[in-house]
Each structure stands twice: as structure tokens, then as C-alpha cells.
Structure 1
Amino acid sequence: MALPSRTTLARWAPTALVAGLGAGAIVVLRNVSPYGANSPLPGCPLYALTGLYCPGCGSTRCLYSLVHFDWQGAIAMNPLLVISLPFLLLMLLHGAGVRPRVLEPLMRVLASPMFWLVLLVGYAVLRNLPWMPFAWLAPG
């Protein structure tokens, strides 16, 4: 049996790293609640300093809810993260060389830094607006 080439290992290393970190996060979030008063999981520093929600606010509670199969709770905490997770997985696999031709147009959009900049800044602005339906984007 031949060993994988160095380029193959280098190409799959980020995927393996994310899988390992994801497994560790699942173990932590299965056993530690971010809702507790003395939770060791950190809160958002931007929210603590300014009272404004960043695009990542509620992500820990969102992932906690996902790990516990609470879809409604996950959407309530950070709907963008829930919607983005499958696309982030696709991007990770694309970087590792899994490139179905049918997904190439989507991958061109997802690989654009401008797309993510506009999406995240726009999401941060909208989730801080106090009016409905934008107030639903705020955590909780």
C-alpha cells in the first residue's frame, strides 16, 4: 500500500484540523452549557463593550442548541450560522479537492471575500435594528 503524497496530506490537513476541532467542540458543548450563570464559555467581547451584536453573537448558544438537536433554539440564537454551516462545509471540502462540477458556480460566489464582507457587515447592521422583522435576528 502506497503512502499518500505530501500534497495530498497538505490539501486534507485543514479539513482534518477542522474535523478535530469540531469533535472537541461537540464534546465540550454536550457537557457545558453556555446558558449557566458561571459558564466557563466566553461571551462576546464586542457586545460586552458596546451593547451591539456582532455577526457571531449567539454562536456558542446556537452551536450548543444544534449539538442538542434544538433547531428552534439554534435559529433563535444565530440564524446566519445555521444557514451558513452547510456552505462552510462545502467550502472546506472544495479546498480539500472535492469539486463536483455542478457546484462550481456556487463555489465561485462563496470563495469571494466581498460576498462574505457584505453578508457579515449587513447581517451585523440588520440584527441591531430594533424593529420587526430585524429584531428577530438578535440572539434570543
Structure 2
Amino acid sequence: MSATPGAPPSRRLLAGAHTRAASAWVAGTGVAAIGVAALLSPATIDDGPVLCPFRAVTGLPCPGCGLTRSWVQLVHGDPAASFAAHPFGAVLMALVLALAAVVLLAAMRRRPLPDFEGLVRRPWLVVLLGGWLVFGVLRLVSEL
């Protein structure tokens, strides 16, 4: 857990509840974003406004630029266009759906929700996040 070892048990429980609530919030927000992607049209997604504050200010892409287009293309059945928009889009969507399934199953079985802090510290996820950031830096440098 994220609480310090000498913290009273109630504080440790509160910290655990906080990271468990985070997993439900991330799963719910992610599923809502997938729902929004399903409502958007792939034909008009490239003509929409710039949603990324970094890109709006600098004109350069951040590591997440293209994820909205990627998810829209993916939910509308075009994995090639999804990959072209952002190569990590399908991976992120799969992770969101997997987290949502785990949270839903835990809630249905009346078990504790997964500890989000523990999930994001898994070595394979750290490597994936590192790859995503390397991709973002390389794309940014290629735009300069």
C-alpha cells in the first residue's frame, strides 16, 4: 500500500480504499471514453478541434496525441487506421477493457476492487509505459 509502514491501521485502510476507488474511476472513465469514440464518426474525426493542450500551445504532438482518432477508428472496425493514428491505441483500449472487467467482476462478487497503485507498478506495465514515452519523444523529435 502507499501508506507509510508506521502509519496507524485506519490511515493504511484509507490509503488502500483510495487506490481501489482509483481503479474503478479509471475503468469507468475509460469505458465512457470508448462510448464517446463509438459515437464519433471516423469520417469527420480528423477535421475536429485540437483537444490536446500541449499541441494547441506548441503545435507539436504529445505522447497521447492521436489516441482519440485511434479509438474511434478501432471501435468502428478499422484496426489499420487505428494503428496509423496511434500505435498504442489498441493496447490502451484493451487495458481499459481488462481493468473494467476486473472491477466489474470484483464488484459482482463483493470482493475488494483491485489496488490501482499496485497495478501500475507491474514491471510489464512500466515497460509498456516506457515504450509509449519513447514513441512520444521520437515522434516529437521528428516533428522539430
Structure 2 length-normalised TM: 0.54
- Count of residues paired in the alignment: 113
Corresponding residue for residue 96 of structure 1: 114
Distance 1:46 1:128 in 2: 11
Corresponding residue for residue 3 of structure 1: none
Higher relative contact order (CA 8 A, sep 6+): 2
Query: Displacement, 1:75?
Result: 0.2
Distance 1:25 1:89 in 2: 11
Distance 2:79 2:90 in 1: 9
Residues 94-138 of structure 1: CA deviation (Å, up to 9, x unaligned): x817xxxxxxxxx334257xx73x4344212211344xxxx8xxx
Query: Displacement, 1:49?
Result: 1.7
Structure 1 length-normalised TM: 0.55
Contact 2:67/2:89 (CA < 8 Å) preserved in 1?
yes
RMSD: 4.0
Corresponding residue for residue 43 of structure 1: 51
**Counterpart of 1:35 in structure 2: which amino acid?**
I
Q: 2:125 aligns with which of 110, 123, 136?
A: 110
Unmatched segments (≥5 aa) in structure 1: 1-5, 98-106, 136-140
Distance 1:80 1:51 in 2: 21
Query: Displacement, 1:85?
Result: 4.2
Contact 1:91/1:110 (CA < 8 Å) preserved in 2?
no
Corresponding residue for residue 52 of structure 1: 60
